[in-house]
């Protein structure tokens, strides 16, 4: 298969390249050459800008394209229209965040989609991100009706993650000692290793599968306590969880999801309970969580911060520093009933 990847050198994109190479596909990468431009010297690289610079793709044909870098509907529409007569299948990587609030636990792909008052806005913020992704989905499908797969992953994790949304926990657990843990060990967690998602996306491009798929996991229920316990086992660390309740953390100004990754406020936990059976039935599988933890930790330990490319666009606040965590632990211990496990 001749495969075009829009992006391909940051996180999910590089795992797509690796998956496609293992399956002996002929790969072309289209990007601006600003992130790790020398990463794949043996893979064809076409330089250009999706915003008005698609001319470099003219006169070429591919069997399939996977779009990992679309956030603005106008730009996704332009890319899809430019390729509509030259590719057979278009995969758009969207997000679980497309769903409107409040989201019901167990929601499937038919759940209501987020809307934005001004559909022409191109400012990607935490508030507009999901609705813009939904508009990107629509743009792709309208440009290539019946030939589009929309993947809606939740939290994508694993080696080369440019955020700390999962990496924080293996790194922190490895330091040992008392670890501030957010609110409830029984809180649900859904995530997908980028390598598993990449394998599935390449497979669905090969088979030209179409439709909308919630693309996260695992296929068995997972909790925050189980994730932290698996971190402790997989790394062999001596760590103790200090479970601080939501009221305390919010009163201290700690931001859910970002400063303490995987923590979702109680009223928003349906986002970690979406129904992904459609994707599972279509072949999305998951490696053991311990493997993801060990590989993520090994990559994190071997890669200095200055050597890591950073995702452009919406920048999440940093995770807790050791000093800030220590302050919070001291404050929590001063309260009656602090739980340590």
Whether 252 and 206 map to the same domain: the answer is no
Residue 134, domain member (yes or no): yes
Q: What string of DSSP letters covers 175-217?
A: H-EEEEEES-TT-B--EEEHHHHHHHHHHHHHHT--EEEE--B
Quick one: pLDDT band at residue 306, thresholds 50, 70, 90? confident
Residue 308, domain member (yes or no): yes
Strand-pairing partners, residue 93, are 151
Q: What is the pLDDT of residue 307?
A: 76
- Looking at the 3D structure of the chain, how many domains does it have? 2
- For residues 338 and 181, which has the higher predicted lDDT (pLDDT)? 181
Q: What string of DSSP letters covers 56-109?
A: GGTT--EEEEEE----SHHHHHHHHHHHTTTEEEEEEE--GGGBPSSPPTT--T
Q: In Å, how far from its chain's centre is CA 62?
A: 26
Q: Is the pLDDT of residue 305 over 90?
A: no
Q: What is the pLDDT of residue 308?
A: 76
3-state secondary structure of 48: coil
Residues 208-258 pLDDT 10s: 999 999 999 999 999 999 999 999 999 999 999 999 999 999 999 999 999
Dihedral sign (CA 63, 122, 200, 296) = positive
> Residues 21, 23, 199, CA angle at the centre, nearest 5°?
90
Whether 178 and 264 map to the same domain: the answer is yes
**How many CA atoms does the CB half-sphere of 272 hold within 13 Å?**
22
Residue 282, domain member (yes or no): no
Q: How far apart are the first and last CA of the chain?
A: 51
Whether 40 and 8 map to the same domain: the answer is yes
Whether 153 and 232 map to the same domain: the answer is no
Whether 66 and 147 map to the same domain: the answer is yes
Query: Residue 258 is part of which domain span?
Result: 168-189+221-269+287-340
Residues 104-162 pLDDT 10s: 999 999 999 999 999 999 999 989 999 999 999 999 999 999 999 999 999 999 999 99
Residue 234, domain member (yes or no): yes
Whether 38 and 134 map to the same domain: the answer is yes
CATH of the domain at 176: 3.90.25
Residue 12, domain member (yes or no): yes
Whether 152 and 233 map to the same domain: the answer is no
Specify whether the CB–CB gap between 149 and 92 falls below 8 A.
Answer: yes
Residue 280, domain member (yes or no): no
Whether 105 and 172 map to the same domain: the answer is no
Distance of alpha carbon 337 from alpha carbon 108, whole angstroms: 39
Distance of alpha carbon 125 from alpha carbon 316, whole angstroms: 10
Whether 130 and 230 map to the same domain: the answer is no
Mean pLDDT to the nearest integer, 324-340: 83
Whether 61 and 90 map to the same domain: the answer is yes
Residue found by looking up tokens 């965040």 in the block: 97
Distance of alpha carbon 31 from alpha carbon 48, whole angstroms: 6
Residue 281, domain member (yes or no): no
Q: Is the pLDDT of residue 19 over 70?
A: yes
Whether 175 and 128 map to the same domain: the answer is no
Residue 276, domain member (yes or no): no
Scanning the chain, the segments in alpha helix (DSSP H) are 12-22, 73-83, 129-143, 168-175, 194-207, 224-235, 246-251, 277-281, 289-302, 322-333
Q: Is the pLDDT of residue 299 over 80?
A: yes
Whether 120 and 253 map to the same domain: the answer is no
Q: Is the pLDDT of residue 26 over 70?
A: yes
Mean pLDDT to the nearest integer, 312-331: 84
Q: Is the pLDDT of residue 313 over 60?
A: no
């Amino acid at each position: 298969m001749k495969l075009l990847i829009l992006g391909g050198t940051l996180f999910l994109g590089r795992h797509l390249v690796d998956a496609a190479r293992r399956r002996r596909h002929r790969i072309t990468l289209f990007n601006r050459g600003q992130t790790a431009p020398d990463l794949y010297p043996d893979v064809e690289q076409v330089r250009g800008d999706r915003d008005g610079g698609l001319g470099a793709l003219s006169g070429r044909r591919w069997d399939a394209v996977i779009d990992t870098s679309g956030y603005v509907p106008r730009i996704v529409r332009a890319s899809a229209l430019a390729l509509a007569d030259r590719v057979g299948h278009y995969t758009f990587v969207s997000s679980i965040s497309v769903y409107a609030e409040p989201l019901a636990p167990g929601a499937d792909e038919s759940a209501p989609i987020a809307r934005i008052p001004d559909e022409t806005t191109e400012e990607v913020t935490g508030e507009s991100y999901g609705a813009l992704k939904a508009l990107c989905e629509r743009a792709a499908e309208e440009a290539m009706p019946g030939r589009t797969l929309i993947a809606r992953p939740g939290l994508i994790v694993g080696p080369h993650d440019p955020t700390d949304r999962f990496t924080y926990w293996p790194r922190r657990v490895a330091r040992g000692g008392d670890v501030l843990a957010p609110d409830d060990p029984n809180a649900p967690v859904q995530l997908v290793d980028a390598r598993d998602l990449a394998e599935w996306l390449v497979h669905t491009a090969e088979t030209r599968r179409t439709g909308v798929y919630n693309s996260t996991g695992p296929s068995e229920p997972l909790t925050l306590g189980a994730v932290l316990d698996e971190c402790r086992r997989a790394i062999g660390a001596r760590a103790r969880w200090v479970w601080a309740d939501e009221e305390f953390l919010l009163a201290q100004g700690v931001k859910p999801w970002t400063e303490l990754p995987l923590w979702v406020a109680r009223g928003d936990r349906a986002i970690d309970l979406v129904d992904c059976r459609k994707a599972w039935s279509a072949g999305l599988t998951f490696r053991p969580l311990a493997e993801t933890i060990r590989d993520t930790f090994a990559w994190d330990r071997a890669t200095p911060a200055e050597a890591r490319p950073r995702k452009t666009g919406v920048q999440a606040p940093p995770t807790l520093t050791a000093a800030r965590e220590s302050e919070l632990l001291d404050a929590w211990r001063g309260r009656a009933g602090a739980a340590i496990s």
